[in-house]
C-alpha cells in the first residue's frame, strides 16, 4: 500500500470518534474508533474537550494498530487528512485559546428567544442549535464571557485548529454556524451587517471571531509538529501532512452517499436523524423547522434535523439484553439489534395503536424544549414483541416525516434518498421503514457503511487527487462511485398507509408528551420549563 496516496478521515460523532484510512481507490484500508457520549451538566448537553482530545488519541492508536496488523508497518505519514465533527453548537475561546464556557452541543434547546429574534432579523431561519443562536442567547442572558470572545468555532473546526494552527472551516460546517451566501461561498455579508448593527456595543465584530470559510478541495493547512504529537502520542506520525477543510457530519454524510447534486438527498440516522435535500431553487418561505445549509461545495441544501433518533431504541435494547443475561444468554450487538429489527418487520404496518415518543431531549420541529421518553398503548392493542419494536423504529422516523411534509408542500423534487448510519445496519429494515415514512425510494450503498469518517477521507482524497477545475460532484461520480452498487427499496401501498395511520395516532397523542414535560421533573423533581401552547 502506498501511504502517500492514502487519505485519513477522522470524525467526532455523537457516540463514537472514528478514523478511516482509505487507499487510492477509495477503499477502506484501516480503521480505529473510540466510544464516548454526551452528558447533561447543569441542564446543558455537553462533551468534555479534554475527552475529545484523549478520545482522538485513542482512536488514532487503534488505527495505528490496525495498520500494523494489516500491513506489518507503522503509520508514519499519509497523503492528506480531514477532520469532521458534529455540526452547530457553541465553542467560544478567548485570546489565549481558552474555552470560555462548557461546550454547548447541537442537542441543546435553550436558545429559543435568540433563534426567534435572529430569524425575524435576517428573514432566514436560524434554528436553536446554530452557533449564532447560542452566541446571541448568551448576549441576551448578559453572560459575562461574551465580551472576551476572540474565536468561535465548531468541534471539527477546533480539532483542525489544534492540529494545523489554522482557524478555518468548511463551508458546509460553516453553514450551521451562520447563514451562507451560496454565490460568494462565505458568510452572508448583508446578515453580518445586520448582526453588527444589533450588537455594536461589543468589542468585536462577528466576522473577526468566526473561522475563515473554505470550499471542498481547498488547502486548509498542514499538520504541525505540535499537532502531530497531539494526534499520535507515540511520536511516529510525521508533520507536514496537508489538510482539507474541516467539515460537519451532515456534509460528510452527503459525501458518503453521493447525495451532493440537485434532486438527491440523504438521511443520516443515529443519535440524531436528519435529511439533507440538495435544492434546485430557494425555498419560497422561511420555515422555522427547516435549516438551509450547504454541501461541502457550497450548494444550497434543505435540512430537516431532529435531535432524537436511536437513543431510546438503544435504551430498550439494553433492557432486552439485561433480560437475556438473567437467563445466561449473552448476545453481541449485531445479534441483538438484527434480531429485534427483523422482528419489527413482522409487526402490523400501523403498529395496532401502540405509540412511542422517543424524546430524550427537546425537539425543534415539534417545538419542545425538553423531552420525556414515553411508550403507551390502547387497552385493545395487540401488545406483541413485533408490534412493540416496529413502534420503536417508527418513532425514530415520525418527527423527521413531519419536517419532510413541509418540503412536499414546497413541491421540492427528490428523485432518490440515500440512507446511512446505525439505523440502517440491519439489511433492508431501516431502509424499508424510511421508504414508507417519506414515500420515496431509499438506497443504501455498500461503501456508506463507514459513514462520516469515510466521507471525510473522500474529501481529503479530493484535495490530494482532484484535478484542476474538477468539481466535487464530478470527482465523486467519475472516481468514487462509478462502480458503486446501490440497493434500492420501495415501500408497498399497505406499508405507506400503515405508517400514515401510525403518524395520525402519533399526532393525536402528542398532548401526552407535552403534559409529561410539564408535570414530570428531572431527578431532583424540578420542572425546568413550562410549555407554551403550540400547534402540531
Residue pLDDT, tens place only, 450-474: 578 999 999 999 999 998 889 999 9
Is the pLDDT reported for residue 449 higher than 80?
no
pTM of this prediction?
Answer: 0.83
pLDDT at site 344: 98
In angstroms, the CA 93 to CA 85 distance is 18
In angstroms, the CA 28 to CA 12 distance is 18
Q: What are phi and psi of 468, to 5 degrees?
A: 50, -120
Contact between 278 and 272 under an 8 Å Cβ cutoff? The reply is: no
pLDDT at site 51: 98
Residue pLDDT, tens place only, 91-134: 999 999 999 999 999 989 899 999 999 999 999 999 999 999 99
Q: What are phi and psi of 292, to 5 degrees?
A: -115, 110
Helices in 44-154 by DSSP H: which ranges?
A: 49-71, 112-122, 131-140
Residue pLDDT, tens place only, 31-65: 999 999 999 999 899 999 999 999 999 999 999 99
Is the pLDDT reported for residue 530 higher than 50?
no
Is the pLDDT reported for residue 386 higher than 60?
yes
Helices (H) and strands (E) in the chain, counts: 17, 22
Residue pLDDT, tens place only, 313-364: 999 999 999 999 999 999 999 999 999 999 999 999 999 999 999 999 999 8
pLDDT at site 217: 97
Give how far the C-alpha of residue 103 lies from the chain's centroid of Cα atoms, to the nearest Å: 16
Is the pLDDT reported for residue 141 higher than 50?
yes
Q: Where in the chain are the domains?
A: 311-446+492-519
Contact between 9 and 20 under an 8 Å Cβ cutoff? The reply is: yes
Furthest C-alpha separation in the chain: 67
pLDDT band at 487; cut points 50, 70, 90: confident
pLDDT band at 522; cut points 50, 70, 90: low
Helix, strand, coil in percent for the chain, rounding step 5: 40, 20, 40
Mean pLDDT of 11-30: 95
In angstroms, the CA 140 to CA 126 distance is 16
Contact between 28 and 22 under an 8 Å Cβ cutoff? The reply is: yes
Q: Which CATH number fits domain 311-446+492-519: 3.10.20.600, 3.40.50.2300, 3.40.50.300, 3.30.420.40?
A: 3.30.420.40
CA distances from 134 to 129, 207, 402 (A): 7, 16, 25
pLDDT at site 536: 41
pLDDT band at 447; cut points 50, 70, 90: low
Amino acid at each position: 500500500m502506498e501511504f502517500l496516496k492514502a487519505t485519513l478521515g477522522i470524525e467526532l460523532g455523537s457516540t463514537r470518534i472514528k478514523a478511516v484510512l482509505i487507499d487510492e481507490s477509495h477503499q477502506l484500508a484501516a480503521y480505529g474508533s473510540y466510544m464516548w457520549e454526551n452528558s447533561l451538566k447543569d441542564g446543558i448537553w455537553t462533551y468534555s474537550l479534554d475527552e475529545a482530545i484523549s478520545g482522538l488519541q485513542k482512536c488514532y492508536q487503534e488505527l495505528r494498530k490496525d495498520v500494523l496488523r494489516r500491513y506489518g508497518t507503522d503509520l508514519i505519514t499519509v497523503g492528506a487528512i480531514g477532520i469532521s465533527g458534529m455540526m452547530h453548537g457553541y465553542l467560544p475561546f478567548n485570546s489565549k485559546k481558552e474555552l470560555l464556557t462548557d461546550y454547548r452541543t447541537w442537542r441543546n434547546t435553550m436558545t429559543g428567544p435568540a433563534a426567534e429574534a435572529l430569524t425575524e432579523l435576517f428573514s432566514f431561519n436560524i434554528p436553536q442549535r446554530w452557533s449564532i443562536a447560542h452566541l446571541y442567547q448568551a448576549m441576551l442572558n448578559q453572560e459575562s464571557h461574551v465580551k472576551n470572545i476572540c474565536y468561535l468555532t465548531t468541534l471539527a473546526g477546533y480539532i483542525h485548529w489544534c492540529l494545523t494552527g489554522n482557524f478555518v472551516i468548511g463551508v458546509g460546517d460553516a453553514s450551521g454556524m451562520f447563514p451562507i451566501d451560496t454565490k460568494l461561498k462565505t458568510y452572508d455579508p448583508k446578515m453580518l451587517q445586520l448582526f453588527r448593527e444589533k450588537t455594536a456595543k461589543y468589542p468585536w465584530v462577528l466576522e473577526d471571531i468566526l473561522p475563515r470559510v473554505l470550499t471542498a478541495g481547498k488547502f486548509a493547512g498542514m499538520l504541525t509538529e505540535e499537532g502531530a504529537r497531539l494526534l499520535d502520542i507515540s511520536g511516529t506520525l510525521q508533520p507536514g501532512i496537508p489538510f482539507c477543510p474541516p467539515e460537519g457530519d451532515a456534509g460528510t454524510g452527503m459525501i458518503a452517499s453521493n447525495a451532493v447534486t440537485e434532486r438527491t438527498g440523504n438521511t443520516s440516522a443515529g443519535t440524531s436523524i436528519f435529511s439533507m435535500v440538495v435544492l434546485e431553487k430557494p425555498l419560497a418561505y422561511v420555515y422555522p423547522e427547516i435549516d438551509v445549509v450547504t454541501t461541502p461545495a457550497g450548494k444550497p441544501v434543505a435540512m430537516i434535523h431532529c435531535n432524537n433518533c436511536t437513543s431510546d431504541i438503544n435504551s430498550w435494547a439494553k433492557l432486552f439484553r439485561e433480560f437475556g443475561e438473567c437467563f445466561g444468554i449473552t448476545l453481541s450487538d449485531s445479534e441483538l439489534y438484527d434480531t429485534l429489527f427483523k422482528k419489527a418487520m413482522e409487526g402490523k404496518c400501523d403498529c395496532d395503536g401502540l405509540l412511542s415518543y422517543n424524546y430524550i431531549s427537546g425537539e425543534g420541529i415539534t417545538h419542545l424544549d425538553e423531552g420525556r421518553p414515553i411508550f403507551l398503548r390502547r387497552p385493545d392493542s395487540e401488545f406483541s414483541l413485533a408490534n412493540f419494536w416496529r413502534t420503536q423504529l417508527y418513532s425514530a422516523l415520525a418527527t423527521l416525516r413531519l419536517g419532510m411534509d413541509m418540503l412536499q408542500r414546497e413541491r421540492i423534487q427528490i428523485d432518490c434518498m440515500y440512507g446511512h448510519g446505525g439505523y440502517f445496519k440491519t439489511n433492508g429494515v431501516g431502509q424499508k421503514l424510511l421508504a414508507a415514512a417519506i414515500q420515496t425510494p431509499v438506497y443504501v450503498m455498500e461503501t456508506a457503511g463507514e459513514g462520516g469518517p469515510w466521507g471525510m477521507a473522500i474529501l481529503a482524497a479530493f484535495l490530494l487527487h482532484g484535478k484542476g477545475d474538477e468539481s466535487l460532484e464530478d470527482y465523486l461520480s467519475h472516481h468514487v462511485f462509478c462502480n458503486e452498487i446501490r440497493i434500492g427499496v420501495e415501500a408497498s401501498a399497505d406499508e405507506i398507509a400503515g405508517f400514515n395511520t401510525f403518524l395520525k395516532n402519533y399526532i393525536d397523542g402528542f398532548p401526552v408528551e407535552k403534559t409529561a414535560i410539564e408535570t414530570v421533573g428531572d431527578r431532583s423533581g424540578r420542572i425546568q420549563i413550562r410549555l407554551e401552547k403550540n400547534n402540531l
